[in-house]
Amino acid sequence: MGLSHILTSLLPATVHTDGGPERYMINAVFTRRPSGGEILALNGPEARAWLDRAGYPQVTTRVSDRRLEIANTSLEELQAGLGSVLGRLLAEISASDAARLETLARNLDGAEQYEAKRWEEVRARAGAIQFAESVESAARPIATPLGLTHIVAGLLPATLATDSGPGSYAVAAEFTRPPTRTELAMISGAAARARLDAAGYNATKLAVRDRLLEIRDTSLDELESGLARVLGMVLAEITEAASAADALMVAEAEKLAAAERERERYVAQAVAAVRFDAVIGQTADGPTGVDAWEDEGGGFDGRR
């Protein structure tokens, strides 16, 4: 960055006349548009200190778009050495800003590489966690076991494994299959809560969202150290208990259905056995009940 020429149209009209000013503002055009850092330097204490050291304490500089406003000076002063001083000042500021931008770019590249490495390590840790079932709970009804396949790394906190990262957070793991209604009730029920409390995970809470199990108020460290295995055992036990409960419900429903079918069969047979075929007329002992009722003014007309 440098200065190409002076804008003569912006010089005072009385320059180089007997009544003209000794000092005035001169506008010089930059060779390119200054960067933000260069503008701050030219308008700030850096340029001020440079001009003071060069013997121009009264001269000030300010950037206006693509122009440098040089105040309290003159064409003669610029010719006598101030122009060279300003040229060196601009070269120094330009080089310093370029070095700053290069350092910033290197730092950004380093930060991006660090972030990429950090997330790679986080994903590797999350992927290594296994929600293994307990061998003791392998004997169960034939129902497909409910388990967890993997942790969804994309749902972990963005600041994980950093100095400002949270100590505990929510970890989402995907189910091996959608839970049944009975299993959903058991996951959020007292049995699972008691199992976690007994294992020492009193702060951990479980919630189901779509096909994910949200393990709240925990961490990858806690899952690695044993919570993952406990959760695998809890889900295995829930599968077994839910299967047994569902089987009892099915058996009870079948029992009720069989009883309803028997009731319907009995009613149908009883209805079929009813006959309304009594003969209206005389009997050996006198008039029938219907005739007697007719004689009493019942108004019966003899039709069935």
pTM: 0.49
State pLDDT tens for residues 20-77: 899 999 999 999 988 888 898 899 888 999 899 999 999 999 998 889 999 999 999 9
| 3-state percent helix, strand, coil for the chain, nearest multiple of 5 | 55, 15, 30
Which candidate, 49, 42, 40, places its Cα nearest to that of 2?
42
Q: Reply yes or no on whether the pLDDT at 121 is more than 70.
A: yes
Give, as one character, the DSSP assignment of residue 241. H
| Locus of tokens 């001009």 | 51
pLDDT band at 172 (very low <50, low <70, confident <90, very high): very high
State pLDDT tens for residues 82-114: 999 999 999 998 898 888 888 877 877 777 787
- H/E stretch holding 70 reads strand 67-73
